[in-house]
Amino acid sequence: MSILVTGGTGFVGGAIVKALLSAGKQVRVLARHTSRTEHLTSQGVEIAYGDILERNSIEKALQGCDTLFHAAALYELWNLDENALRETECQGTRNAMEAAMATAVNKIIYTSTALTIGERKGEVGTETTRHRGYFLSKYERAKYEAEQIALSYLNKGLPIIFVNPASVYGPGDLKPSGRAIVNVVNGRMPGLFHGSNSLVYLDDVGAGHARAAEKGKVGERYILCGNSVTLIDWGRLLCQLSGAKMPPAVPVFISGMYATFGEAVSLFTKRPPVLSWETFRTACHGFRVDGSKAANELGLVYKSLEEGLQTTIQWYWEKGLLKKKPNCVTES
């Protein structure tokens, strides 16, 4: 039997596909006709053309599959159309669950985000944390609502396992976490404020999903988080590895003003700001979650932050995204 992965052409979905292939699984990916799939087909992945906003196409793609990994999503903390975001996350999730109901798959691995944990300021979130009741970004709200939709299908008898990755970074990342790394190494980050973030390396996300399918319990959540760090400690390690100059520590209110100004400028440039308002708000509140349950129950071993950042910096250098050769780069 095959496994269907939605979002398999994307950053996180691609890591899931990679982990499943490494485990010898037969993988099918739901993809639009406009998506690039050559890197998947060259590895023996079957492509089922469709869209998560078209339920019939998901049902068709699920024929002959016993497991569904639903990882398709939009992700950005800047300039996202809220209607498109909520349609993709919420209606896409509903379509995937309805298709699974119609085809009676044996297991569903649902990719959420650790942002839906919603821990309060100063708290470390776990799988049982009660959400604070307010949202720090449009993305958090949409993913939370989508997760609630998936939970409602759990009550209808669908065998769903929930996976909640923290901020994902690694080779290929051109989203908020990746842009922040590039900006620091290239000296474009004017300062770092007293905030925090939870991180997980890309390959650990793929492995965590594969292990959740193998060892996870239906109805359970598994946070994937290798490190929770302050922004200043993260920047210090990044600069030690790369040789970049450490950005100065700046007051929180100055960073907020900088984020607001950057958002205004980006309306004209159409380029992402160095620090978006939603990134600032999330980090200022503090994003700290505990990934030990996945380690203890699934046997997931997290890559160290130092090793993960070094591998990621190496990729950015090889892709020509860095101005100066970082200290940690090795020539192949």
The domains of the chain, with CATH numbers, are 2-170+199-226+288-303 (3.40.50.720)
Percentage of the chain beyond pLDDT 90 is 87
> What is the residue-wise DSSP string for 210-228?
HHHHHHPPTT-EEEE-SEE
Pairing mode, strands 160-165 and 107-111: parallel
Give the pLDDT confidence score for residue 78 in this predicted structure: 66
Percentage of the chain beyond pLDDT 70 is 99
How high is the mean pLDDT of the chain? 95
Q: Is 162 helix (H, G, I), strand (E, B) or coil?
A: strand
- What distance in Å separates the CA atoms of residue 157 and residue 212, rounded to the nearest whole number? 18
Give the pLDDT confidence score for residue 56 in this predicted structure: 97
Is residue 166 over pLDDT 90? yes
- What distance in Å separates the CA atoms of residue 85 and residue 137, rounded to the nearest whole number? 12
Q: What's the whole-number mean pLDDT along residues 174-201?
A: 94
Amino acid at 293: K
Q: Exposed, middle or buried: residue 43 (CB in 10 Å: 0-12, 13-18, 19+)?
A: exposed
Give the pLDDT confidence score for residue 332 in this predicted structure: 64
pLDDT digits (tens, 9 = 90+) for 231-254: 999 999 999 999 999 999 999 999
Q: Exposed, middle or buried: residue 320 (CB in 10 Å: 0-12, 13-18, 19+)?
A: exposed
| Residue among 291, 290, 284 at smallest CA distance from 136 | 284
- What distance in Å separates the CA atoms of residue 190 and residue 105, rounded to the nearest whole number? 50
| CB burial string 233-260: b at 16+ within 10 A, e below | ebbebbbebbebeebeeeeeeebbebbe
